[in-house]
Each structure stands twice: as structure tokens, then as C-alpha cells.
């Protein structure tokens, strides 16, 4: 899988008295002109830098990889900076703006503990905040990450091949092999839509849809044939239309029609 990017933003916010500056190490080790390093201490400073990235995308056609080297909150609701916490809802608002400004090209990389749980806060009723995310479902440790992210970014900058970069990452990673995963926007949609389908196919939801359909068609005492017709034809049609509408919203198909994948 070839990634379409032309800038890597390494964002790091840790307490250097107890943590290692892994992203700073990467910045000085790799020394690439497409890498920019920032070390905000507070949420306000981080948001200001994310606004700057959005403006870069708007004015300079930047297609960014944003790498967040921060701590994850233990309840998996957000991230912790050196001087303040940010819940994923706040982060979502900034990232979706960047994703739109970049033409749906934002890739999020996070070394935060439980960082991949960000997707659990997403919804099919609003746009996805990135084209893809690479992160861990478990707790992570900085000593496990320095060498692995070093080869990861060197490979990406050289080949733009995400699969090769992840393979090299896994070979160097000293933690559990299954900690880190890459999910595309399509992967996330499918995960969320499976939950949606479970609800749509539940007996309670079908009963509610049947009630609405009979009322809309002026049927006060529905017969067995009515129920058979609605459950066999009309309710599946509603489910199909729901999928199409969710896709339109999640992938912003009105603005980015090439996002349609199903």
C-alpha cells in the first residue's frame, strides 16, 4: 500500500524528567526535510499547532502524517500531554478539519498506550477524522519503540510503502507482535457498521420499523401478509439505504466522491 504524503509532523509532549524524547531522537536521526518536530506542553499549544497544520494543508497542498508521541489515558478516553489531558472528542474536531483540508489524506500515527482505542469514539453519523491510523491496542513502552519507529519512517520516506514500513517496524519492535495495527477508514467503517447491523437486525428494531411502516401506509391492523411483505422487502430496503447514507456521511462522499469503496 503506497501512502500519499509529503510531510511528517512529529508531535511530542512528555515529561523529560521521567520519559525519553523518542520523537526528538527520530527527528535528529533521520534528518529529512519533510519532517517537522514540535513539543507542545499544553492542550492549547497542541491545538495551536494542529491549526497550523490545517493551514499548511490549505495553502501548501500538504498531505500529512501526524505522529503523536504522548501518553494514553488509562480509561482509553484520550491522551495525556506534559501539562494537561485531551479527550478524543476534542482531538477529533481538530483532526477532521485537517483531514478535510488535506483532501482526505491525513494519516495518524500514535505511540500512545491504547492509542488505537481512539476509533471507539468514532461514529458513522459524522466524518472519519483520518484516512488511516497506526497505533497500539495495548500499553506501550518507549524502550520498545525507538528502533522500530526509526526503521518505520526511514522506509516510508524512501519507498512510501506502508506495508514494507510496518513489516520493518514489527521486526524491530520489542513488545507484543500484536500490539500495533493499521486501520484504514474503510476498516473502521466496516467495524462500526457491523455494530449498526446488529442493531438494525435486532427484533426490537425490526418491530419499531414495522410499526412505523404500517403507520405510514395507513394500516391499523396489519395482517400476516403485511408483516411478511414489510419484513421481506421494505425493511431490507431501509437497511440498504441506511448503509448508503452512513457511507455518504462517514466518507464525505459529496465532497470526496472517490472515497466510495463498497
Residues of the chain with pLDDT under 70: 17-18, 198-214, 216-217, 220-241, 261-262
Domain span at 25: 7-184
Q: Are residues 38 and 103 in the same domain?
A: yes
**What pLDDT sits at residue 142?**
76
- Do 113 and 42 sit in the same domain of this protein? yes
Cβ atoms of 111 and 144 within 8 Å: the answer is: no
- What's the pLDDT score for residue 143? 77
Question: What pLDDT sits at residue 15?
Answer: 75
Last residue of a domain, one of 184, 217, 245: 184
The number of domains in the chain is 2
Q: What is the CATH number of the domain that holds 142?
A: 3.40.50.1460
Q: For residues 23 and 64, what is the distance between their CA atoms, to the nearest angstrom?
A: 16
pLDDT value for 3: 95
Burial status of residue 143 (CB atoms within 10 A of its CB: 0-12, 13-18, 19 or more): exposed
Q: N- to C-terminal Cα distance for the chain?
A: 18
| pTM of the model as a whole | 0.85
- Please report the pLDDT score of residue 200 as a whole number: 58
Domain co-membership, 28 together with 127: yes
Convert the pLDDT of each residue in 2-32 to its tens digit.
Answer: 999 999 999 999 877 667 788 898 999 998 9
Are residues 128 and 248 located together in one domain of the fold?
no
Assigned domain for 94 exists: yes
Amino acid at each position: 500500500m503506497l501512502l500519499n504524503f509529503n510531510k511528517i509532523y512529529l508531535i511530542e509532549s512528555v515529561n523529560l524528567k521521567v520519559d525519553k524524547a523518542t520523537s526528538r531522537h527520530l527527528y535528529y536521526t533521520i534528518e529529512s526535510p519533510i519532517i517537522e518536530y514540535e513539543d507542545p506542553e499544553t492542550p492549547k499549544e497542541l491545538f495551536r499547532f494542529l491549526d497550523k497544520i490545517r493551514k499548511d494543508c490549505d495553502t501548501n497542498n500538504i498531505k500529512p502524517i501526524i505522529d503523536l508521541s504522548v501518553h494514553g489515558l488509562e480509561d482509553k478516553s484520550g491522551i495525556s500531554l506534559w501539562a494537561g489531558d485531551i479527550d478524543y472528542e476534542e482531538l477529533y474536531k481538530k483532526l477532521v478539519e485537517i483531514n478535510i483540508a488535506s483532501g482526505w489524506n491525513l494519516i495518524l500515527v500514535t505511540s500512545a498506550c491504547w492509542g488505537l482505542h481512539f476509533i471507539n469514539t468514532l461514529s458513522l453519523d459524522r466524518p472519519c477524522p483520518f484516512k488511516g491510523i497506526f497505533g497500539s491496542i495495548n500499553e506501550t513502552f518507549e524502550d520498545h519503540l525507538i528502533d522500530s519507529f526509526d526503521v518505520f519512517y526511514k522506509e516510508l520516506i524512501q519507498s512510501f510503502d506502508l506495508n514494507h514500513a510496518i513489516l520493518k517496524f514489527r521486526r524491530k519492535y520489542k513488545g507484543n507482535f500484536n500490539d500495533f495495527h493499521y486501520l484504514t477508514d474503510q476498516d473502521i467503517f466496516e467495524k462500526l457498521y457491523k455494530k449498526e447491523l446488529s442493531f438494525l437486525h435486532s427484533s426490537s428494531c425490526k418491530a419499531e420499523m414495522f410499526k412505523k411502516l404500517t403507520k405510514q401506509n395507513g394500516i391499523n391492523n396489519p395482517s400476516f401478509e403485511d408483516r411478511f411483505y414489510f419484513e421481506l422487502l421494505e425493511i431490507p430496503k431501509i437497511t440498504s439505504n441506511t448503509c448508503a447514507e452512513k457511507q455518504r456521511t462517514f466518507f464525505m462522499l459529496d465532497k470526496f466522491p472517490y472515497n466510495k469503496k463498497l
